[in-house]
Amino acid sequence: MGSIVTRLAGALLCAAVAAGPARAADKLKVGFVYVGPVADYGYSYQHDLSRKALAEALPGAVETTFLENVPEADSERAIEKLARSGAGLIFTTSFGFMEPTLKVAKKFPTVKFEHATGYKRAGNVSTYSARFYEGRYVCGKIAGKLSKSGTVGYIASFPIPEVVSGINAFMLGAQSVNPDIKLKIVWVNTWFDPGKEAEAAKALLAQGADILTQHTDSAAPLQEAEKAGKLAFGQSSDQYRFAPKAQLTSIVDDWNGYVIQEARAVLDGTWKSHDSWGGIKDGMVVLAPFTNMPDDVKALAEETKQGIVAGRIHPFEGPVLKQDGSVAVKAGERAPDPMILGMNWYVKGIDDRLTQ
Amino acid sequence: MSLDIVQMVLVTVLAAATPLILAGIGELVVERSGVLNLGVEGMMVLGAAAGFAVAAWTGSTGLGALGGAGAGLLLAALFGLLTVVLAANQVASGLALTILGLGLSGLVGAGYVGMKRDPAPHLDLPGLTDLPGIGRLLFGHDAFVYAALLLVAGVWWFLWRTRAGLTLRAIGDDHAATHALGLKVRKVRFLAVLFGGACAGLAGAYLSLAYTPFWAPAMTAGRGWIALALVVFASWRPLRVAAGALLFGGATVLQLHAQAAGLGLPGQLLSAVPYLATILALVLLSLGRRRGGSLAPAALGRVFAPSR
Amino acid sequence: MRLDLLPRARRSRRLDLLAPALAFLAAVLIGGIAVAALGVPPGQAFLTYFVAPLSEVWSLQEVALKAAPLALIATGLAFCYRANLWNIGAEGQYVAGGLAGGWVAVAAHGSQGPTAWILPAMLLAGTCAGIAYAMIPALLRVRLGVSEILTSLMLVYVAQLLLDYMVRGPLRDPQGYNFPQSVSFDDAARLPLLMAGESLHAGVLIGLVGIGLAALVLTRTLFGFEVRTVGASPRAARFAGFSDARLTLAVFAISGGAAGLAGICEVAGRIGQLQPEISPGYGFTAIIVAFLGRLSPPGILLAALVIALTTIGGEGAQIDLKLPLDLTRAFQGLLLGLVLGADVLTRYHVRIVPGGAGAKGIP
């Protein structure tokens, strides 16, 4: 053991002399840290598409690199590794990377960081996220129109605000066209487990749901719906090819525009720390083509989408009532962003209970 | 609940249990021969990747299933080489196998991400499959499900009704004595390990070809570990492996149903139910059993190195 | 052809070092071929994997930080495995330790008055929780004869779900927009850094002390002798009057305590708050480390360093050479397998006997 300690100390000394600041590269190095495998065909996959789009959009100016499957507990090292390898702009794409991102950012003040779905910023740390709930509101309208049984199944991952606000927006959309609609929610406690997601889908279908929607990443629920001759919504990426007879639309995360815009800003020297929360209007939330529905529903969905883009429609337009009947958003008002960002309550009409 | 819902639940439970039964029954044979292979998850996930790749390449689900089983078998052969031939530690080798299998599956499956296949066809016997209440449950599954059940019966028959099965069990109980009797300890164990690998690979292929017919990295999501636990839970008896798999699958599926019905308990608690139920069942089993004498194969996990 | 293994009277000192070195060489060779097949020069890949992480202060610290919990947990597990008890639930005991210790930190958050007690209390709570959590499978085995393999594994999932529940519910940061995480611990609840501005923290020292203590107990005490005897010859141990039950509880307590301590050191060190995931699989990787290190503390330390090195080298390979993570994993698995296989040389004289059983391969 002693020898290891001396060796370590010796190596530390040697390296202390050799190590300097990261070398400046001619091209802007852009690093990405993913929480899942790039092959998940869901959240991390979509982010990796934006990395490839960036490489294509600015071929001479940027060089991209990524680390996949990074566990939260290991993320500080992964992010620092990217910073040390000369990256000038680093996207940390999962909420769990928030504190590690801030810590590394403090050490590397000249490197710019972009953290997805978090809420803490610094001089060189921006945050960005997408208003997925806008897409879910549109989906809710479609489901409310199309459900014959009046029961919709919702496969949920973890009770975080993004998921809860998605459930609420979906329910409000559905209630706007069918006030008696019922929502059955199953929490699977995972972002990705095709088998379990399929089991949840089967359970919901067996209990009378004829439309499924999900906030988990695999295409398994869609396939279950297709098998049962029912309908469903995709998630994260356009999953039409998995279920051409079942997919109504899919809420697609499209980070391409944002990633390219931020890289450009760094190259131009105009990058500033900011928070962006883009929706359908900004092209960050994209709805896959409306399929497997009659024309009038398609028209309604299109109209709702355009209404959101134009600012005429807001999913959390008052009056919004909480489960217990208390008023969350008064008539004529719209839910402010902080309320949506921290949402931990259900709207009236949902008979699931949230863990508090 | 109507009869149809009950049937639908049971069909789901059986489907959820099938990969556990397949992998578990294979591992049971391995452990009965005295070898502990903790690498089930690795063989399973490689089977899922290879099974999908072969099926996509040849267009045949059957060949895909064979490919999955073959991939599991190859990986198991490596394990057999290490532990049976070279007498390496089984626990550590099994864990190494898990890592290797996960890595290889990613490399094999890389080209097949986002591809979809039609699920393996389900049995459809006119008249029988449509019988109310039981038709789907008895006559409406895909070939994997029936294969799993046949395999359980076959392994039971092999272990308790054939001479070769007796030899295998004897070797698992005392390799020194059986070796002294002139039985081929290492050959039997190696074959058992291969069989276990093929079963685990088949279980993986079931996931990527029938249960959720696409390939995704780490799609086994821990089912290999559950299968391992089931073998112990079943006290190394084939029929109990099937029963345990159904119990575990049942607990998983029922908690999802309970949520869909709006029970309002924390999701984490419900997700923990299958694991707690397994522990509880185990405790009850041992309370019912007379004290003394473990049911495990006596030589399980111990290294055998013949010196002659 | 037949392969015969004749046990050596004593392990060969020379081969003890030579065998793993040969295995390493073989793994590098196979890995090199795979890398070349992917169009990357093997020499460059070797430098990225094995040399680069050792050439910077920063990455050396990272290697130490990654190796410390692995070595600590594995050392605890070595007691169990030497006594032929299969605790494979160290991951759960680690999580229990991190959760209990973190709970103390959250409860003491922002408290006025003396703060010197907080960190020791956290470490103590973490260790005790690890011990308590390991007592469940140990007691079930001693009292009811329930297999510890199954119960310890199942309890891993239960611990993870419990942590998940706590950080989404009772221990959630009230100012955190309802995201699943606790408050960031106060400085008094964090393990101090060993060098200002660097990342190496006191948890690494705690780990080293723990491993040193374990080494002493194992080699210099009657209890250590008992553990070694039971493993080597259960019958002799019984004749010597060692109590099975007492020993079972003791080794489970040691391994659970070590895992719990590792858990709270990680939470109070690197992470600094409670979150749904506090381990990148340390409890499972430590099982491999324990066996790679041949269940002896110095070997375990070395094995932990090697595992940490390849993990960090793998990240470098992803960034600099665009080699997929799956390749790193496959390489790690291969390396482990080869080292384990090569171990046969140190324990046996290997003899290839021609003819014999004919062309059947394995007799």
Domain residue extents for chain C = 62-292
C130 alpha carbon, distance to own chain's centre: 14
Q: How would you list the strands of the sheet with A89-92, edge to edge?
A: A62-67, A28-33, A89-92, A112-116, A125-130, A275-278
Rounded mean pLDDT of A242-268?
A: 95
Mutate to test the interface with A, among C57, C199, C309, C321 (most CBs of A within 10 A): C57
CATH topology of domain A132-253+285-341: Rossmann fold (3.40.50)
Name subunits touching B (3+ CB pairs < 8 A): A, C
Give the C-alpha separation, C230 to C232, whole Å: 6
Higher pLDDT residue, B285 or C363? B285
Query: Residues of CATH 3.40.50.2300 domain(s) within chain A?
Result: 24-130, 132-253+285-341
Q: Which amino acid is at C348?
A: Y
DSSP codes of every residue in B27-56:
HHHHHHTT---TTHHHHHHHHHHHHHHHHH
**CATH classification code of A24-130:** 3.40.50.2300
CA dihedral B154, B155, B159, B160 (to 10 degrees): -50
Is-cis flag, bond preceding C280, omega within 30? no
Tens of pLDDT, residues C51-101? 999 998 999 999 999 999 999 999 999 999 998 888 989 999 999 999 999
Q: Are C303 and C68 in contact (CB under 8 A)?
A: no
- How many contacts, defined by CB atoms under 8 Å, are there between A and C? 114
Tens of pLDDT, residues C172-204? 998 888 888 999 999 999 999 998 888 899 999
Question: Residue A248 has what pLDDT?
Answer: 97
pLDDT grade for B64, boundaries at 50, 70 and 90: very high
Interface of B with C in 90-129 (CB under 8 A): 91-93, 95-107, 110
What's the Rg (C-alpha) of chain B?
20
Mutate to test the interface with C, among A77, A119, A343 (most CBs of C within 10 A): A77
Residue C283, token pair as written in the block = 């409890």
Tens of pLDDT, residues B6-43? 888 898 999 999 999 999 999 999 999 999 999 999 99
Tens of pLDDT, residues C312-349? 999 999 998 989 899 988 998 998 899 888 888 787 88
Q: What is the SS3 assignment for C124?
A: helix
Interface of C with A in 162-181 (CB under 8 A): 164-165, 168-169, 177-180
Predicted confidence (pLDDT) at residue A193 exceeds the cutoff of 70: yes
pLDDT grade for C18, boundaries at 50, 70 and 90: confident
Q: What's the pTM? A: 0.89
- Which residue segments constitute the domains of chain B, with CATH numbers given? 3-288 (1.10.3470)
Give the C-alpha separation, A235 to A251, whole Å: 5
Instruction: Please choose, from the candidates A237, A75, C336, A193, the residue with its C-alpha nearest in 3D space to the C-alpha of residue B217.
Output: A193
Question: Residue B306 has what pLDDT?
Answer: 65
pLDDT grade for C120, boundaries at 50, 70 and 90: very high
Rounded mean pLDDT of C232-247?
A: 76
In B28-37, which positions are buried (b, 16+ CB within 10 angstroms) versus exposed (e)? bbbbbbbbbb
Tens of pLDDT, residues A133-167? 999 999 999 999 999 999 999 999 888 888 999 99
Tens of pLDDT, residues B272-305? 887 888 788 778 877 766 544 456 787 887 777 7
Question: Residue C355 has what pLDDT?
Answer: 56
Are B260 and A241 inside 8 Å of each other by CB?
A: no
Q: Are B45 and B186 in contact (CB under 8 A)?
A: no
What is the maximum span of chain C, computed from C-alpha positions, in angstroms? 81
Are C337 and B97 inside 8 Å of each other by CB?
A: yes
Residue with token string 């019922």: A182
Query: CB-based contacts of B33: which residues, under 8 Å, 6+ apart?
Result: B168, B169, B171, B172, B188, B189, B192, B193, B297
Residue with token string 């060489």: C25
DSSP codes of every residue in B61-73:
HHHHHHHHHHHHH
Q: Are C199 and A106 in contact (CB under 8 A)?
A: no
Give the C-alpha separation, A62 to A263, whole Å: 8
Predicted confidence (pLDDT) at residue A4 exceeds the cutoff of 70: no
Question: Residue C1 has what pLDDT?
Answer: 60
Query: In this predicted complex, what is the ipTM?
Result: 0.87
Higher pLDDT residue, C111 or A171? A171
What's the Rg (C-alpha) of chain C?
22
pLDDT grade for A19, boundaries at 50, 70 and 90: very low
DSSP code of residue A39: G
SS3 labels along C275-331: CCCCCCCHHHHHHHHHHHCCCCHHHHHHHHHHHHHHHHHHHHHHHHHCCCHHHHHHH
Residues of A in contact with B217 (CB under 8 A): 37, 39-40
Tens of pLDDT, residues C264-304? 999 999 999 999 999 999 999 999 899 888 889 999 999 99
Question: Residue C19 has what pLDDT?
Answer: 86
Q: Are C98 and C182 in contact (CB under 8 A)?
A: no
